[in-house]
């Protein structure tokens, strides 16, 4: 697999240089370079939000870059659409598999380029036969091309996805965390497939959080951080782990976090989880939060972070265990019971899970406490407005006129509107899932200050964030999660980013 010495002068298959891409409010890529040689396994590393997903979407033709150059076999190209990328021979296997679950394997594999007679009659038999061959090449002859994709396991669906990639004349396959959903022996098969492909001269761009995998099958590594490539083409097998980790974490601007109170949190337990678990999502968990305390959950995507929060909030029903607020058990699986008990959730997908985007800030803030501003169902809009305005001002939400439509607010202020909702409700424990997602740097510090102030006023806070520094800087106590299990608990001061990253990334020994 490793490129031979004499391959070195060979022109790269893909050369990306100075790629930039901005989304409203965020510069996702800020001059990224990537060079992939034919037949190599090129690994892409970086923390959440470093720009990996955006980069592979540019490569797949899903996003159009704002600037920069893409060369394919030495020629400058524009990847204007996913079809254009596919025609060149670039296939992408996304983490969220993009298969049509209610049609057959063969139909999925040849979706969009079915073998046809007279241009439109699908030659189903031919498609099936070709699919069977592809599946055999991928080491899974047991998958029947006629089965519905929805009936297959996640691992087999991934194989189908790969077969689809191979059904095109593919030169480069991008795999986004392909091993995340696989069992160990399935991972072995994946590696074998990767080896076969590269032996045929196909290049693979491989994204994984697991450093040990990268050591095993990778040839070279490109590390992304904050939308830039901070290291290009490092040798995958010999670069020390510590160097890779510090490349991923090294940052130029310190986060500004509010000071922690000097006295340790005490008082009665506000929120308690006892043996709380959900099958297939997270193992039994014990947790205690006292007034004034911020507890952080650190872990990768898929480590069960959000699931834990949503289960505590009753949005998912626990398989076992119970949740107590102020010593009283909360009826499981009921959001309304959780809200009544004094829990408030600021969910990960703010726009889809929290905000009523067509409505004003007032209505978004008051939605959970309407009964307080009404008599017999009749709203007292004056009292509602005054209360919403008070909550909004308390959190210095801007603009401070709560009549503005919530969709006109910036991300940080939208998040404050969600917090104001629970503040108005008088909640005791705030569950924050990625509270600073989509919030710009300046507003983050302010949001951190707001969260700390709410804690100082006696709230308990449970914080989930994929940004390790955020958890370490804001929380008093940190629970480190890996694959649904708490692997470490410690006061935030006793942890650093390296240590946490080592803990969450399986199989990479400390330093």
Partner 1 sequence: MTSPVSKAEQNGPGAGPVLAEPEAPKAPSPRRIAFARADLRTLSLVGVLIALIIVGGITKPDNFLEIDNLQLVLTQASVIGVVTVGMTFVIISGGIDLSVGALVALASVWATTVATQEFGFWGILFTAVLVGVGCGLVNGVLISFGGMVPFIATLAMLAAGRGLALQITGGNTQTVTIDSVLELGYRDAYILGIPPLVLIFAGVAIIGWLVLNRTTFGRRTVAVGGNDEAARLAGIDVRRQRLYVYLLSGLCCGIAAFMLIVLSGSGQNTNGNLYELDAIAACIIGGTLLSGGRGTIVGAVLGVLIFQTITNIFILNNLESATQQIAKGAIIVAAVLVQNRTSRNQTT
The edge-to-edge listing of strands for the beta sheet with 172-176 is: 90-93, 172-176, 203-207, 41-45, 220-225, 228-235
3-class state of residue 97 by DSSP: coil
Closest approach of partner 1 to the CB of residue 10, in Å: 27
Rounded Cα distance, 41 and 396, in Å: 50
- CB 9 to partner 1: min, Å: 27
| DSSP state letters, 435-471 | TTTT--HHHHHHHHHHHHHHHHTT-EEEEEES-HHHH
Q: Cβ 167 to partner 1, closest distance in Å?
A: 33
Rounded CA-CA distance 212/231 in Å is 19
| Nearer residue to partner 1 within complex by CB, 110 or 257 | 257
Nearer to partner 1, 149 or 355 (CB): 355
Q: Is 111 helix (H, G, I), strand (E, B) or coil?
A: coil
Q: Measured from the CB atom, is 30 or 69 closer to partner 1? A: 30
User: In whole angstroms, what is the distance from residue 508 CA to residue 197 CA?
Assistant: 27
Q: How far is the CB of 203 from partner 1 (least distance, A)?
A: 25
When the beta carbons of 27 and 237 are compared against partner 1, the nearer one is: 27
- In whole angstroms, the minimum distance from the beta carbon of 381 to partner 1 comes to 7
In angstroms, rounded to a whole number, what is the distance separating the alpha carbons of residues 234 and 220? Answer: 5
* Choice between 284 and 469, CB closer to partner 1: 469
Return the number of the residue (87 or 331) whose C-beta is nearest partner 1.
331
- CA dist 412 and 420 (Å) reads 12
For 63-101, b/e burial (b = at least 16 CB within 10 A) is bebeebebbbeeeeeebeebeebbebbbbbbbbebebee
Minimum CB distance to partner 1 smaller for 199 or for 441: 441
Closest separation between CB of residue 462 and partner 1, Å?
A: 15
* Angstrom distance (rounded) from CA 102 to CA 117: 24
* Under 8 Å between Cβ of 50 and 69: no
Write down the least CB distance from residue 292 to partner 1, Å. Answer: 24
Peptide bond preceding 302 in cis form (omega within 30 of 0) = no
Q: Give the integer Cα–Cα distance in Å for 123 and 92.
A: 26
Dihedral angle sign, alpha carbons of residues 493, 497, 499, 500: positive
Nearer to partner 1, 49 or 258 (CB): 49
Report the C-alpha gap between 198 and 209 in whole angstroms.
Answer: 21
Q: How far is the CB of 413 from partner 1 (least distance, A)?
A: 8
CB of 247 to partner 1, least distance (A): 5
The half-sphere exposure of 423 on its side-chain side, counting CA atoms within 13 A, is 25
CA atoms in the 13 A half-sphere facing the CB of 64? 6
Nearer CB in complex with partner 1: 53/158: 53
Distance of CA 27 to the CA centre of its chain: 17
What minimum distance in Å lies between the beta carbon of 12 and partner 1? 22
Q: Between 179 and 413, name the residue whose CB sits nearer to partner 1.
A: 413
Shortest distance, CB of residue 260 to partner 1, whole angstroms?
A: 21
Considering beta carbons, is residue 90 or 419 the nearer one to partner 1?
419
CA 486 to the chain's CA centroid: 19
């Amino acid at each position: 697999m490793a490129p031979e010495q004499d391959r070195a002068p060979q022109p790269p298959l893909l050369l990306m240089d100075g790629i930039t891409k901005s989304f409203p409010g965020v510069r996702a890529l800020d001059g990224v370079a990537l060079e992939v040689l034919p037949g190599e396994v090129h690994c892409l590393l970086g923390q959440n939000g470093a720009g990996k997903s955006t980069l592979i979407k540019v490569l797949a033709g899903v996003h159009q870059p704002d600037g920069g150059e893409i060369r394919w076999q030495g020629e400058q190209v524009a990847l204007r659409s996913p079809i254009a990328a596919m025609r060149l021979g670039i296939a992408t296997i996304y983490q969220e598999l993009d298969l049509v679950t209610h049609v057959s394997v063969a139909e999925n594999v040849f979706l969009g380029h079915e073998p046809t007679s007279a241009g439109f009659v699908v030659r189903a038999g031919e498609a099936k036969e070709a699919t069977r061959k592809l599946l055999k090449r991928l080491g899974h002859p047991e998958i029947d091309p006629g089965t519905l994709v929805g009936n297959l396991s996640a691992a087999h669906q991934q194989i189908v996805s790969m077969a689809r990639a191979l059904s095109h004349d593919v030169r480069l396959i991008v795999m986004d965390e392909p091993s995340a959903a696989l069992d160990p022996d399935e991972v072995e098969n994946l590696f074998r497939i990767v080896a076969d492909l590269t032996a045929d001269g196909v290049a693979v761009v491989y994204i994984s959080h697991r450093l040990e995998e990268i050591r095993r099958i990778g040839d070279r590594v490109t590390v992304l951080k904050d939308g830039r490539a901070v290291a290009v083409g490092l040798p995958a097998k010999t670069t020390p782990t510590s160097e890779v980790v510090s490349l991923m974490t090294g940052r130029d601007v310190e986060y500004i976090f509010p000071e922690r109170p000097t006295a340790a949190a005490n008082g009665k337990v506000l929120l308690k989880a006892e043996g709380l678990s959900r099958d297939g999502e997270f193992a039994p968990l014990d947790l205690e939060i006292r007034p004034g305390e911020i507890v952080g959950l650190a872990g990768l995507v898929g480590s069960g972070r959000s699931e834990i929060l949503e289960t505590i909030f009753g949005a998912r029903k626990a398989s076992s265990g119970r949740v107590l607020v102020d010593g009283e058990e909360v009826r499981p699986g009921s959001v309304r019971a959780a809200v009544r008990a004094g829990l408030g959730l600021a969910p990960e997908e703010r726009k889809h899970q929290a905000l009523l985007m067509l409505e004003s800030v007032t209505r978004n803030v008051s939605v959970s406490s309407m009964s307080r501003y009404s008599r017999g169902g009749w709203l007292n809009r004056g009292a509602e407005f005054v209360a919403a305005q008070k909550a909004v001002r308390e959190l210095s939400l801007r603009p401070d006129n709560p009549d503005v439509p919530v969709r006109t607010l910036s991300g940080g202020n939208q998040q404050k509107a969600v917090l104001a909702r629970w503040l108005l409700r008088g909640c005791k424990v705030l569950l924050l899932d990625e509270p600073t997602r989509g919030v710009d740097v300046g507003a983050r510090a302010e949001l951190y200050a707001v969260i700390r102030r709410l804690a100082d006023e006696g709230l308990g806070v449970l914080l989930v964030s994929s940004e390790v520094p955020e958890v370490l800087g804001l929380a008093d106590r940190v629970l480190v999660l890996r694959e649904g299990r708490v692997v470490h608990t410690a006061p935030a001061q006793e942890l650093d980013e390296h240590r946490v990253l080592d803990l969450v990334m399986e199989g990479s020994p400390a330093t």
